[in-house]
Structure 1
């Protein structure tokens, strides 16, 4: 019979590469780990690993069990975490996944009133996913996905939260600062600052530069929004960001927001949740607060 500890062992060996390191991570002896897997192999009548030099390579059966573990182990962990909170007099755990780097400023405005209304709900925010935001949602690593780029499928519901414009952000001293709009060709010699996201997933590339066959002079990765804005303020680069974010930071930095192209680049922020699932009341409450905050805190909102 396949048990939870078998799946944990297979996942750990795949992650750490050797039986020794996996055993250490799981606080087991290597012999106990090997014995558990041999017993499972005997029950299934098939090997799980094959020797590949000094390394272990999963067989087809091993891959099947690894995929099973990746799906169900997060669900076990989530159920245990929520049960523990309930046992301690708390109501639950809300895990929010972010596929929108600049959205932390927005999220702070949502989380504060939500926590005030639901003091017994723990809130956890994740931005680094093992298999991407959508797989994290479907794999029960998170409960809500914040994303401006929804991947539509029957198993996920999306709630539009806020409509906004994506703009070019430059220093007021930049030569483009007074332009009504910019063309891709005008950015060919610029230093573009972006978050650590694949260029193909960045709108400035996929919707603006790449279709025009244009690239920038230099592309620099910046993780922190405040550092990015400080560099733009100092005329050390440009970026493409939501207009609402620029407006939020105007009191801290001197920034100019310029329309990308002759037609404004519009975006919508969504909250994604799993469909056909009996969700806790606090998830619906979070969505309600998110919509309310978007309508009152930012000027470019969904009607």
Structure 2
């Protein structure tokens, strides 16, 4: 019979690369772990590893068990952590994953009123995931995924919470600052500054440049919004950002937001959650606060 302990052994031996190192992490002697491995393979009726000197390589059966361990063990660990929180009288921690660099500023303005309304809930924000945002949701590394590009998957739910327009941000004195809208051919003459995201996930490429077979004269990557817009303001390039964010910075920086094409690029921010978590009240409250239209409009005018 397959047990949780078997999955823990498979995962740890793969992580550590040897029985000796895995035994240390699992607080076992090497002989005890060797016995566990032998007994497990006997119970399962198949080899899980092949031995190559001191190293061990997973068989096909072992690879299957590793995948199972990576899916199930985080759920056990998450459930145990949640039970410990309940035992201490705590509501829990809302772990938010970010797949949208400019959304971080939006999130800050949601988190502030949320923490005030839910003083017994902590918030943690993660911006990097080993297996991507969807994998982080399925793996219980996060509870909410903030993304402009949802993927429909069984067991997940994505709620649109905020509409926005993607625009091109240029310096005040730039030639494009005076045109009614920007064309792909005009951006082909510019240095385009973006966040460190693959071009096939950047709207400026997928919805504007690539369909027109256009590319910028040069592409620069910058991680932070503040530095990106400082570069734009100093004439070092142009950047594509949400209009609300660009106009917020335009209050104190010499930059202008311009429409991308005649129709513009309409986008939405989505919050992704697991359907199994629908009954968690503080999670539902976060989503409700985020999509509150009156609050969102007040935030933009603030």
Q: Structure 2 length normalisation: TM-score?
A: 0.90
Shift of 1:86: 1.9
Structure 1 residues 209 and 65: CA distance shift in structure 2, 3 A: same
**Which residue in the other structure is 2:115 paired with?**
115
Structure 1 residues 32 and 185: CA distance shift in structure 2, 3 A: farther
SS of the aligned residue for 2:175 comes to coil
Shift of 1:287: 1.0
Alignment of 1:93-242 (within 5 A): 93-242=93-242
Residue deviations 1:83-108, cap 9 Å, x none? 22222221112111111111111111
Cα separation, 2, equivalents of 1:25 and 1:189: 56
**Which residue in the other structure is 1:257 paired with?**
257
Structure 1 residues 14 and 215: CA distance shift in structure 2, 3 A: farther
Residue deviations 1:248-300, cap 9 Å, x none? 2223422111111122100011112222545311111111111224243126x
Cα separation, 2, equivalents of 1:49 and 1:173: 65
SS of the aligned residue for 1:181 comes to coil
Shift of 1:129: 1.4
**Which residue in the other structure is 2:72 paired with?**
72
Cα separation, 1, equivalents of 2:54 and 2:211: 47
Alignment of 1:279-290 (within 5 A): 279-290=279-290
SS of the aligned residue for 1:176 comes to helix
Cα separation, 1, equivalents of 2:274 and 2:92: 17
Cα separation, 2, equivalents of 1:263 and 1:183: 11
Structure 1 residues 15 and 254: CA distance shift in structure 2, 3 A: farther
2:85 maps to 1:85 = yes
Structure 1 residues 167 and 14: CA distance shift in structure 2, 3 A: farther
Shift of 1:53: 8.0
Given candidates 275, 297, 300, the residue that maps to 1:298 is 300
Shift of 1:28: 5.0
**Which residue in the other structure is 2:246 paired with?**
246
Residue deviations 1:144-168, cap 9 Å, x none? 1111111123422222111110011
Q: How many residues align?
A: 299
Residue deviations 1:11-33, cap 9 Å, x none? 23434444455455555555444
What stretches of structure 1 of length at least 5 have no aligned partner?
A: none
Cα separation, 2, equivalents of 1:178 and 1:55: 65
What stretches of structure 2 of length at least 5 have no aligned partner?
A: none
Cα separation, 2, equivalents of 1:32 and 1:295: 62
Cα separation, 2, equivalents of 1:216 and 1:20: 53
Q: Structure 1 length normalisation: TM-score?
A: 0.89
Cα separation, 2, equivalents of 1:49 and 1:148: 42
CA RMSD of aligned residues (A): 2.2
Cα separation, 2, equivalents of 1:261 and 1:53: 62
SS of the aligned residue for 2:211 comes to helix
Cα separation, 2, equivalents of 1:52 and 1:267: 53
Cα separation, 2, equivalents of 1:80 and 1:164: 39
Structure 1 residues 268 and 56: CA distance shift in structure 2, 3 A: same
Deviates more, 1:80-89 or 1:51-60: 51-60
SS of the aligned residue for 2:254 comes to coil
Shift of 1:236: 1.4
